[in-house]
Chains A and B, each alone.
Chain A
């Protein structure tokens, strides 16, 4: 049997809570399924195989070029924004309830939040599917989508805030009830991520509410595109940590248990999360290294701060690998690297996350290049960039979420995982496709191939790119097969009639730590100093530029339809 089956659950979630979490996963996986349809179409287009004309029924306003960008917009919005946000809020609900062994403080609040996210998704889907919001997932002004697109996004973000307030309130109640106990690591980490999200999304909230919608409603005649970018990227980088930290929660706090071991260091895991909280936001200019309206000095400062956030990432690498090594040696693993073979590679949930971690090492190395101020000149807006973030959000995050789903769906449905061998195969296939795809994307990017271009139509593609673009198509298609296997396994698991045998139960894997969490220093369980540090760092890193750019606002750009 895959993962842990016990007869006496440590803490049983209520049926309505399980159902509530299930709705999150349902919308998340549905978004991923639709969004990913376009992945292989884009990849094949690069290799000269344009399937869009055969799929014109998918697009309201058919036209060969149109559908590429519309598909790319759907791919980015549904995969990067919707799949992640819905999965993460659902997973956080589970982590908070199970970690605190306590129901949500105000379940209604969380339900209001969730259904406003769903409402936002529906509202945004109308212009997206109608080709009225083909602005890609960065929606840079003065290109303008239908107002409904932005209103939908606002509803999704506000809904996620409301759910977040529900999580914070629950933790706050629990701390009142348990004044002498340290917050369990997974809950502390999950709520840190919630707080990070609330702060990070302020940027895009200001961008949409103060700049984009006033133009959209015709209250003003123009917009300042540079200022919009600065607000967007205030959110844009911590956004990737919002995606990544739930995977880290699993790697630190769950995977060691699944592998038969313990978390190597509870204190350092907590420290890493606090550092992510304070360091994830004040470095957004590293996405704007080649923007004309940001002074080079501030770009340099943000480059250094980006190296700073590399530190908790390296801490994570050590602690996660050490925890896995501990588990493997307990299972009889030997040798300097030989222990790796002793990990439970037969378990689809564990394997998905191990492969996610391996891909993320390459993602991290590439990320250092992106962060490096002037090295970025040869990478910016090339195919390297999507090559990079497919190793992060589409591997470290998505493949880990696959692994989590392989125990989470049985846990909340009370049904056994359908065909565990297919679950295992899905991760390996996705992994193999990703290796080919991302390697080709990085390489062709270094040769100068731009991102966001239907290269099959571009007149400037030299023949030396063709071999790499062919590998993009092969890798992208293989990835899609792995992803569809995941969808099928999870869907059949959830909707099958078969249930787990009476009295059998799949518990949430929560790892104990080798060190006693209650002996950890008190400053690792105190919010105030870290929140102050976060605010101070943001003011120092962003304050002067925000004041300058806002004071110098020039709203001279009228809107343009895509």
Chain B
């Protein structure tokens, strides 16, 4: 197949723009690598698919019939089950020791909510029909409020609870 030379067209790119394009690509690749290292080598992870549930029957059986703290290894490993409903969390007060690995499991029995614990990376959507899960460690003793971060109705602004971390 032959193409006549005369129809050949090429794109004119200014040298300064060429340099900018190269720089842009490098910058974006650096961002992508940073996120990758933080996520997959340092383990700063986002929630992933955990479990589908029925929001209408979920509280009929354990663990959701009795939400709260489960001690797996005393002082070292805990699981916390939290149910979000309009307009409160069950439980709304949690006590945990500093330095322990804590995994939060949260679900909703009505509309969408959010769950965010201040000064931690625990911040995710709570969606009826799904279980949200994230693990964290509280290094410093103190009070850590957790709040609803998705509009869920008239009482949204007063939907909160508190983690008390003991030494």
Contact = CB atoms under 8 A, between A and B. Distances in A.
Contacts of B123: 290, 377-378, 380-381
Contacts of A556: 54-56, 128-129
A57 interface: no
B114 to A, nearest CB: 5
Contacts of A225: 111-112, 127-130
Given A315-B24, A453-B157, A522-B9, A322 B17 contact: yes
A485 to B, nearest CB: 31
A149 to B, nearest CB: 15
A305 to B, nearest CB: 10
Interface in B124-158: 124-133, 145, 147-158
A450 interface: yes
Interface stretch (B37-45, B64-72, B94-102): B37-45
A297 B118 CA distance: 26
A6 interface: no
B127 A65 contact: no
A329 to B, nearest CB: 14
A378 B116 CA distance: 9
Given A318-B20, A554-B52, A296 B46 contact: yes
B110 A560 contact: yes
B25 A311 contact: yes
Contacts of A319: 17
B5 interface: no
A142 interface: yes
Given A314-B20, A373-B46, A381 B128 contact: no
A448 interface: yes
A30 interface: no
B35 interface: yes
A542 interface: no
A268 interface: yes
Given A304-B32, A377-B46, A560-B111, A520 B11 contact: yes
A265 interface: yes
Interface stretch (A334-342, A434-442, A456-464): A456-464
A377 B134 CA distance: 11
B147 A294 contact: no
A562 B86 CA distance: 10
B46 A307 contact: no
Contacts of A91: none
B150 A295 contact: no
B9 A452 contact: no
A176 interface: no
Interface string A31-74: 00000000000000000000000000000000101100100000
B47 interface: yes
Given A136-B151, A292-B131, A380-B123, A265 B28 contact: no
A552 B52 contact: yes
Contacts of B52: 293, 552, 554
A295 B49 contact: yes
Contact size range, B: 35 or more
Interface in B153-167: 153-158, 160
Contacts of B129: 224-226, 293, 554, 556-557
Contacts of B152: 143
A143 B56 contact: no
Nearest to A310: B28
A464 B42 CA distance: 31
A290 B48 contact: no
Given A136-B151, A314-B24, A300 B39 contact: yes
Contact of A296 (B48, B126, B132): B48
B74 interface: no
Nearest to B23: A314
Which interface residue of A314, A368, A557 has the most chain B CB atoms within 10 A? A557
B21 interface: yes
A307 B32 contact: yes
B150 A307 contact: no
Interface in A305-335: 307-308, 310-311, 314-315, 318-319, 322
B60 interface: no
A460 B147 contact: yes
B14 A290 contact: no
Contacts of B132: 290, 292
Q: Which has the most chain A C-beta neighbours within 10 Å: B17, B54, B112?
A: B112
Contact of B156 (A229, A289, A453, A557): A453
B101 to A, nearest CB: 17
B28 A311 contact: yes
Nearest to A376: B46
Given A226-B127, A267-B12, A448-B118, 7 more contacts: A140-B150, A143-B153, A267-B11, A293-B129, A381-B125, A452-B149, A554-B54
Interface of A: 63, 65-66, 69, 136, 140, 142-143, 224-226, 229, 264-265, 267-268, 271, 288-297, 299-300, 303-304, 307-308, 310-311, 314-315, 318-319, 322, 368, 372-378, 380-382, 448, 450-455, 457-460, 515, 519-522, 524, 552, 554, 556-558, 560, 562
19 contacts: A142-B110, A264-B14, A268-B13, A291-B130, A292-B130, A292-B132, A292-B133, A307-B28, A308-B28, A314-B27, A314-B28, A372-B35, A373-B35, A380-B124, A380-B125, A382-B149, A457-B158, A524-B11, A557-B129
Across chains A and B, which 9 residue pairs bring their CB atoms closest together, nearest first? A296-B48, A290-B124, A292-B132, A314-B24, A381-B149, A292-B130, A374-B44, A448-B118, A458-B157
